[in-house]
Structures are given as structure tokens and as C-alpha cells.
Amino acid sequence: MIMAKARISGGFRIGLFLLLAGMMPARADPLLSSWYTERSGVYARVFQNDAAIPDGATTAWVHPGGGASQTTPTYAGVHELSHTDNWLYLRTTGLGSYTMGPW
């Protein structure tokens, strides 16, 4: 049996460290990763009034008084995040991912 002893250079150690560090999962920034987006692909749903509850919620509604209508389905909750070094941008409709109403 032949045994050999090799000396590992400092440059090799640094290279090995960088290689292994690159294989480690990156830690997510909580400002970016803590938003609830699990239901971001769900359409907002509303019971327009008490009489509509047995028929189920709707994804489009027209306000009888002419305000706050939603004539086409739209997503609920936070559905897009983007950021720069200094700012975080959210895209949301402001509508909940739970069934809202009646009102």
C-alpha cells in the first residue's frame, strides 16, 4: 500500500469553498418571501346579497347603485411581487381570497 501526502493550496481551498457555498440554498429575504401568495391564482368571489347565498358566490358583480362593480373575474390577494434594492412592489386587487359579502 502506497500512501501519498498532498498539500492543498490556499487558492484551491477558496475555490472549493465558493463551489460548496454556491450549492447551498440561498436564504430568502423575509420582505420578499413572507407574503401570502398561496391562493393568488384564485378569483375573488362575492355574495352580492343574502338571497344569492344559496346559489353560490359569483366572480363578477355589478353594484346596484352604480359603484364598485367587477364585470369580469379578477384574481384575489397578492399576485405579483417585484423589487429593486430599495423598494418592494406588490400587485393586488385588494380583494380577499375568501368569499366576501353579502353587503
Judge if pTM exceeds 0.75. Answer: no
Band of residue 13 on the pLDDT scale cut at 50, 70, 90: low
Asked whether residue 5 carries a pLDDT value surpassing 60, the answer given is: no
Asked whether residue 54 carries a pLDDT value surpassing 50, the answer given is: yes
23-31 LR contacts (CB < 8 Å, sep 24+): 31/83, 31/88
Band of residue 38 on the pLDDT scale cut at 50, 70, 90: confident
- For the stretch 65-100, pLDDT in tens is 777 788 899 888 887 888 888 888 888 888 888 888
- Of residues 12 and 44, the one with the higher pLDDT is 44
50-59 LR contacts (CB < 8 Å, sep 24+): 50/102, 52/102, 53/102, 57/99, 57/101
